[in-house]
Structure 1
């Protein structure tokens, strides 16, 4: 198992500046605008108007940083452009074409082809599919063309309009800018206040210990998270081992992820039992390292037990030294294979009471090749075989005698570049299976449940206190009662 280097951890954080839509928009606008000025012949005497025009357009840039426009909200982003043109704003064709060219070069060729070839070994011809994914992508990342285009086109044109006006020695109208910015802000506020209504309902009370005395406890809990496994595609795939786990265990058919459904956010919520506004991880772009609340790993330490998480470098941002970071820079057909090999090594050397293993191959192929193609199904089927191999190893080595085994996804993936975050179709509900000697066989729990219940459920199974902010109730529906054990 090759561990993630310090450089990879830093590089992963830097990459998120270009991956996440919020930081990408201002970075791209500033870079594109400055490049255009250098091409046009920027002179030292122009720096004053250039800097002043930047500060004048900055409020609009901040507004577009603050507000996401995911899913159908992005359609409304063309309204400010129409208003800008109607009230006399000038459109600069050359600048707009350069911005468009740079955007599609970055997303389709640099990201979708060059980056993915170097990172996970996709073909040099990946751009032939990736451009379609960029145009379909609905999540608020840099690869969402339908959101990013109206954002950066408006910003660069307003900036250039302001800059040219200052260069020509003309005065700027405070009323013009104030009114235009106010209308854009009001539009964004109304859209998010009245149409942004698809967030999952949150638990508002702390989790409590179930008042059931005869529930058995586990010696170990092992969780395999198949990152980005879309539920409906999982059902379409040939997964004989995971199907067997469902038959011999309990399946939650309406297990809901958290909002926003980013990997680091989801893992932070799954293993603290609470939501982003409390644990502090609100996107994959982590501005301040570490969660603000207790995790399940902290809870286990209180009773002298040990938990480990084997996953990609991003997860260090939340859980620090509780993570064994594995490199994500390897061919997509090797990533999960090497992760399972690494998981075996950790079980032999550390024998943790809680062991969480993240398989990233499905998520990677969804992002690079799309979720509606055979590549994605094949990766789910590969994960099924590897989970079976891992469980067989656990049995052979004697780790499964009194172990609860959980398989789930942290989030689904939508169309386009395997989008996940704002809960488009295919993102919200995830596969979730519990199996073990204390788990009811063949049961399907159809009531809606949330991944935030994972932390308190693990704590209860291992006899640990709940993390201090855990809100998800224990998943008691899956547990056998004493009389059920006696009849089996």
Structure 2
């Protein structure tokens, strides 16, 4: 199994500048304006550079606030306000922007990029354009969010540029802009204060305030299989006999909730630090400052001379550094998880860690490239079931499952459109989660709501390690047998 190269790790961070919605917006707006004014850059470069200052308040506002789900519909109100107040329309500029946007999302990203990276068909654009229009993801592919943003930003910038290029903005124009910015800011604050109420409520106290740390391990090993992006209701609709048997052999948590924003690197960081983005500081897949700002389960294990390894994509290095064995994400999607499972076997044989976490990526990539409400997605979940069976059978044969707890989960679900995840739309919030092992009660279903931040402290408890320093998750005690020997 090929590891992610240093180039791929850097490229993954670079790609997120275009993939994540917040950095994409200013990059796209600046690029579009430069292309639109390419012929007169020599004579008007100064006015163009100065006029961008007038867009900065809106850029800052759009970067700070998310405008998720239903809130994105309200983005058109400032656009209408701009047209009414400034009575300016820049149809040719907006049409260029729309053309560039759909070329980037549908053809470059949805077709060329996915064909080169994971082998999707060259005809993927015939489906991908529909996914872009329906997508609720917090990425550049969220047309319902990105279009009103760049229409407004380009309109304000062109308005300021044209006035500066012909003598400057009058006092009246400046007052109008200032009042407009203030109005948009107040409007945005009201929306987020009164309508943005679906974020999961975080645990307020730390794990160590509510639970005693284990004096000794009850398990020799914990193995975690994270099926990235496996939507709960689609998993339940798929034919997955082996994963279903694992649920029956152990305890299933039917209301396991992911974190906000439900992005892969954010979720993994929360899962294995036991806390939330406001504390570990990983806010999206675009990581500006490398490394979680809190202890991880890997740090906790080191305190008791135990080892943990995570096998996953290059993005996860940004949080967990040398605790990650990377896999290249540049391979045909039909063989990606097969290769990851093979690498997982090699790590178990050569390193024999007390904690091993393996990220399977094909289900997530199918959702992103082909959508989650199509047969392609169900088929990929069913293929994953077969691969997990192969891996667990191998672990059992080699003796690695003796006194071992196995956790199976998703890091987040996926919504309609481009397998959207981030804003906790339908299909994203609750994820499959079940565990089986010598201390785990068989055939139990826990209906109480729990959070994925419980994974780190539960793993620490099973392996006799201290809780990570900022862990807030509950220890999943409902699954424990009263008598582990029974």
TM-score class normalised by the smaller sequence: over 0.9
TM-score by length of 1: 0.97
Q: 1:65 aligns with which of 57, 63, 66?
A: 63
How far apart are 1:214 and its partner, in Å?
11
**In structure 2, how many angstroms separate the alpha carbons of the residues matched to 1:176 and 1:432?**
53
Kept after mapping to 1: 8 A contact 2:368/2:418 = yes
Match of 2:341 in 1: 340
1:283 matched to 2:291? The reply is no
3-state SS in 1 of match to 2:405: strand
Write out per-residue CA displacement over residues 92-140 of structure 1, whole angstroms, 9 at most, x where no aligned residue.
1111110000000000000000000000000000000000000000122
How far apart are 1:171 and its partner, in Å?
2.9
**In structure 1, how many angstroms separate the alpha carbons of the residues matched to 2:108 and 2:87?**
33
Write out per-residue CA displacement over residues 389-425 of structure 1, whole angstroms, 9 at most, x where no aligned residue.
0001101111111000000000000000001111000
Write out per-residue CA displacement over residues 15-60 of structure 1, whole angstroms, 9 at most, x where no aligned residue.
000011100000000000000000xx21433122111111112211
Kept after mapping to 2: 8 A contact 1:281/1:318 = yes
TM-score by length of 2: 0.98
CA pair 402-5 structure 1, distance change in 2 beyond 3 A: same
1:183 matched to 2:198? The reply is no
Please give the residue correspondences for 1:222-237 in structure 2 after superposition, counting only pairs within 5 Å: 222-237=223-238
**In structure 1, how many angstroms separate the alpha carbons of the residues matched to 2:33 and 2:245?**
56
Match of 1:466 in 2: 467
Match of 1:75 in 2: 73
3-state SS in 1 of match to 2:469: coil
1:243 matched to 2:241? The reply is no
**In structure 1, how many angstroms separate the alpha carbons of the residues matched to 2:408 and 2:168?**
65
**In structure 1, how many angstroms separate the alpha carbons of the residues matched to 2:437 and 2:153?**
56
3-state SS in 2 of match to 1:366: helix
Kept after mapping to 1: 8 A contact 2:217/2:461 = no
Write out per-residue CA displacement over residues 159-200 of structure 1, whole angstroms, 9 at most, x where no aligned residue.
111111111214332211101111111111111111111000
Q: Relative to structure 2, which stretch is displaced further, 97-106 or 200-209?
A: 200-209
**In structure 2, how many angstroms separate the alpha carbons of the residues matched to 1:335 and 1:213?**
37
**In structure 1, how many angstroms separate the alpha carbons of the residues matched to 2:140 and 2:87?**
26
CA pair 228-182 structure 1, distance change in 2 beyond 3 A: same
Q: Relative to structure 2, which stretch is displaced further, 282-291 or 168-177?
A: 168-177
C-alpha RMSD of the superposition: 1.4
Match of 2:104 in 1: 106
Q: Relative to structure 2, which stretch is displaced further, 159-168 or 333-342?
A: 159-168
**In structure 2, how many angstroms separate the alpha carbons of the residues matched to 1:62 and 1:390?**
47
Write out per-residue CA displacement over residues 263-320 of structure 1, whole angstroms, 9 at most, x where no aligned residue.
0000000000000111110100000000111100000001100000000000000000
Match of 2:37 in 1: 37
How far apart are 1:335 and its partner, in Å?
0.6
CA pair 90-245 structure 1, distance change in 2 beyond 3 A: same
How far apart are 1:211 and its partner, in Å?
5.9
Match of 1:199 in 2: 199
**In structure 1, how many angstroms separate the alpha carbons of the residues matched to 2:445 and 2:353?**
29
Q: Relative to structure 2, which stretch is displaced further, 86-95 or 213-222?
A: 213-222
1:87 matched to 2:88? The reply is no
1:135 matched to 2:130? The reply is no
Kept after mapping to 1: 8 A contact 2:117/2:330 = yes
Q: Relative to structure 2, which stretch is displaced further, 106-115 or 43-52?
A: 43-52
Kept after mapping to 2: 8 A contact 1:20/1:141 = yes
Count of matched residue pairs:
483
CA pair 212-344 structure 1, distance change in 2 beyond 3 A: closer
Match of 1:260 in 2: 261
Kept after mapping to 1: 8 A contact 2:446/2:478 = yes
**In structure 2, how many angstroms separate the alpha carbons of the residues matched to 1:214 and 1:174?**
67
